[in-house]
Amino acid sequence: MQYQGHRFMLYKRWDYAPHGRTKEQQEALDAGQALFKAANFEHWASQPELVECIQTFLVRAVPSYRPSPYGNRPRDVINALCWEVRNGAALIVRAKPAYIAHSGFAPALTEDERYRRYRREMADMAERGAIFEARTKWYQQELAEYHQLVEDAERAARPPQVFRHIETIAEAAVRNRAAWAARDAFAALASTAASVVASALPSMDHEVFDLGNVSEVGTGSTPLGDAAPFEYFRSATGDDVLSAAARGVGEELNADCFYEYESAMRTCDNLAHLMGGARGYALCKQNAFEDYQTCRGF
Amino acid sequence: MSPRKPKSVVLSYSQDNEAINIQTIDAMAIAGLDATKLTYPVFLEEHKHNLDDEFARKLGASILTTLAISYPMLEPYIKITRQPKSD
């Protein structure tokens, strides 16, 4: 029973503080009596849940109570309770705010109510879980995208360096060969066969030279074109410089960052709600995200 | 008479004397601050350059509730009507 913010409970007379009452218990009892005196029984009878509660109590507490002889109409149930309260067999007691009924006589909540509350809590938990999961998924996705971005940027940045390295060797070889050829050319020039040798010189345009043609003059047996092609690829552990820098951020700090980020997003949502403005909202969220990335060390 | 240096307005809440402080600070100083600044630009164009009572109401409500995110103790005092999102 819930009245004026208080919960009231029904007790069998001998179940409630049979060995003398404390002041508090007496007050609770007085409050119950006052409630009973002021009660509008029509109103009580109009609440099916209350009636059901009372009937449960009567069935369990009063051995002589039989639902059918008294009639099953709500008003009959209330009348039966009134009878028991007036003759002192049943007590109405104001419950302490967090009181839990020690016996089944005054169920704090009916099974149905308890079940419904349980369902509500479970639904709430499930909802929170779903939100958390969605957020985590989004977060992971966003992180993966970011890693992809970094990877692409790396790939875009590194290969030229690698190729430049090959070029340097090749160029050296070409230069070497050119030098030999030039010497030969001089020799050929000396022997008046200059034009023939000059046309055999490899192209010096290193944008287009063919690696297969380049061989180190001197040994002459290790053409670079035979070397196994190699390419730069990221190590599986990802502990290259860029991601190592990003990973220098501790888990704790990450959590703090995420908390700040959430709070910032909440601010944006709130402002969007009250102030409006799609552009402002988008910029606010972007701002929040950038702060988040900065915080995490990206 | 406007000050020589443009000022920004900063709102804060001091719990000690339960006051919302409206402070002005050098706009340049804020721009140069190396701290997390969340910015929500309110474009005048989106309000048709019409800074009327309604705009002021929205702005005030925005500021109060934003302050209350950091200072939840303000929450019970805020009695503004929270309009359902219209746009």
> Domains of chain A: which residue ranges?
2-108, 131-238, 248-298
B51 interfacial to chain A (CB closer than 8 Å)? no
**Contact flag B69-A281 (C-beta cutoff 8 Å):** no
**Contact flag A275-B41 (C-beta cutoff 8 Å):** no
Interface of B with A in 53-72 (CB under 8 A): 58-59, 61-62, 65-66, 69
**Contact flag A291-B43 (C-beta cutoff 8 Å):** no
ipTM of the complex in this document: 0.82
Specify the pLDDT at position A197: 44
Nearest to A238 by CA among A151, A142, A158, A162: A151
- What is the separation of C-alpha A84 from the centre of its chain, rounded to a whole number of angstroms? 55
Looking at the structure, tell me whether residues B46 and B87 fall in a common domain: yes
Chain B residues near residue A259 by CB distance under 8 angstroms: none
Alpha helices in chain A (DSSP H): 23-38, 41-45, 48-61, 67-70, 74-86, 111-190, 194-200, 241-247, 251-275, 278-296
Q: Is A11 helix (H, G, I), strand (E, B) or coil?
A: strand
Q: Is the pLDDT of residue B56 over 90?
A: yes
How many interchain CB pairs under 8 A, A with B?
A: 69
| Contacting residues for A279 by C-beta, under 8 A, at least 6 apart | B41, B43, B46
Looking at the structure, tell me whether residues B23 and B56 fall in a common domain: no
Q: Is the pLDDT of residue B54 over 80?
A: yes
Specify the pLDDT at position A245: 47
Specify the pLDDT at position A213: 46
Q: Which domain holds residue B57?
A: 40-87
Q: Count how many domains chain B has.
A: 2
Looking at the structure, tell me whether residues B49 and B87 fall in a common domain: yes
Looking at the structure, tell me whether residues B30 and B47 fall in a common domain: no
Q: Is A117 helix (H, G, I), strand (E, B) or coil?
A: helix
Specify the pLDDT at position B52: 92
Confidence category of residue B60, pLDDT binned at 50, 70, 90: very high
pTM of the model: 0.35
Looking at the structure, tell me whether residues B44 and B15 fall in a common domain: no
Greatest Cα pair distance in chain B: 42
**DSSP state, A95?**
P
Specify the pLDDT at position A71: 61
Looking at the structure, tell me whether residues B78 and B47 fall in a common domain: yes
Specify the pLDDT at position A186: 59
Confidence category of residue B3, pLDDT binned at 50, 70, 90: low
A295 interfacial to chain B (CB closer than 8 Å)? yes
Chain A residues near residue B47 by CB distance under 8 angstroms: 277
Specify the pLDDT at position A69: 56
Specify the pLDDT at position A228: 55
Dist. CA A242–CA A248, nearest whole Å: 10
Looking at the structure, tell me whether residues B9 and B31 fall in a common domain: yes
Chain B residues near residue A280 by CB distance under 8 angstroms: 40-43, 46
Specify the pLDDT at position B55: 92
What chain B residue is nearest to A265 in terms of C-alpha separation? B38
Looking at the structure, tell me whether residues B61 and B86 fall in a common domain: yes
Parallel, antiparallel, or unpaired: how do β-strands B19-26 and B7-14 relate?
antiparallel
Q: What is the pLDDT along chain A (298 residues), one digit of tens a residue?
A: 445 556 777 877 777 777 777 887 888 888 888 888 877 888 887 877 778 778 778 777 777 776 665 566 777 878 888 888 888 778 888 776 544 444 444 445 667 777 788 888 888 888 888 888 888 888 888 888 888 888 887 777 765 544 445 555 666 667 777 777 766 655 555 555 444 444 444 444 444 444 444 444 444 444 455 555 555 555 444 444 444 444 445 666 778 888 888 889 988 998 888 888 888 899 999 988 988 888 888 7
**Contact flag A278-B59 (C-beta cutoff 8 Å):** no
